[in-house]
């Protein structure tokens, strides 16, 4: 199975400041069709997860442009340009290149 490792596991951030979360996979996530099926999800307290980014860097419908994704191969990053109060929650990366799909452990974003 592909292991997804996120860092940090906890990220205290000041409102209005940037935040960055890293996700590393134990093997390349490039699929045979040339796509890389790495996505990012946000889970606010008491809510189901919500898709933010798919295929490394594509923002899903309705996602604010302060969220961006980047990376390639085995190393990926989610960035929030200016953290807002509503961004508090846990962020997960997920790979869908190889079954079984796997998630990172989650990164808890909190306000300082």
Partner 1 sequence: EVQLLESGGGLVQPGGSLRLSCAASGFTFSSYSMIWVRQAPGKGLEWVSEISAGGGGTYYANSVKGRFTISRDNSKNTLYLQMNSLRDEDTAVYYCAKGLMGATTNWGQGTLVTVSS
| Other C-beta atoms lying within 10 Å of the C-beta of residue 65 | 7
Q: Are the C-beta atoms of 95 and 101 separated by less than 8 Å?
A: yes
Check binding of 25 to partner 1 (CB under 8 A).
no
Q: How many CB atoms lie within 10 A of CB 13?
A: 18
Say whether residue 1 binds partner 1 (CB under 8 A).
yes
Which of 30, 60, 66, 88 lies at the binding interface for partner 1 (CB under 8 A)?
60
Cβ atoms < 10 Å from Cβ of 24: 17
Q: Is 110 in the site for partner 1 (CB under 8 A)?
A: no
Residues that bind partner 1 (CB under 8 A): 1, 31, 35, 37, 39, 41, 43, 48-51, 54-55, 58, 60, 90, 92, 94, 96-97, 99-106
């Amino acid at each position: 199975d592909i292991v997804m490792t996120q860092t940090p596991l906890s990220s205290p951030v000041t409102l209005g400041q940037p935040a960055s979360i890293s996700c590393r996979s134990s093997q390349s996530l490039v699929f045979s069709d040339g796509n890389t099926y790495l996505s990012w999800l946000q889970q606010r307290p008491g809510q189901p997860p919500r898709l933010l980014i798919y295929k490394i860097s594509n923002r899903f419908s309705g996602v604010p442009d302060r969220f961006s994704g980047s990376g390639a191969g085995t190393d990926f990053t989610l960035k929030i340009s200016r953290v807002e109060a509503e961004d508090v929650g846990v962020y997960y990366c997920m790979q869908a290149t190889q079954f079984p799909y796997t998630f990172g452990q989650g990164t808890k974003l909190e306000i300082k």
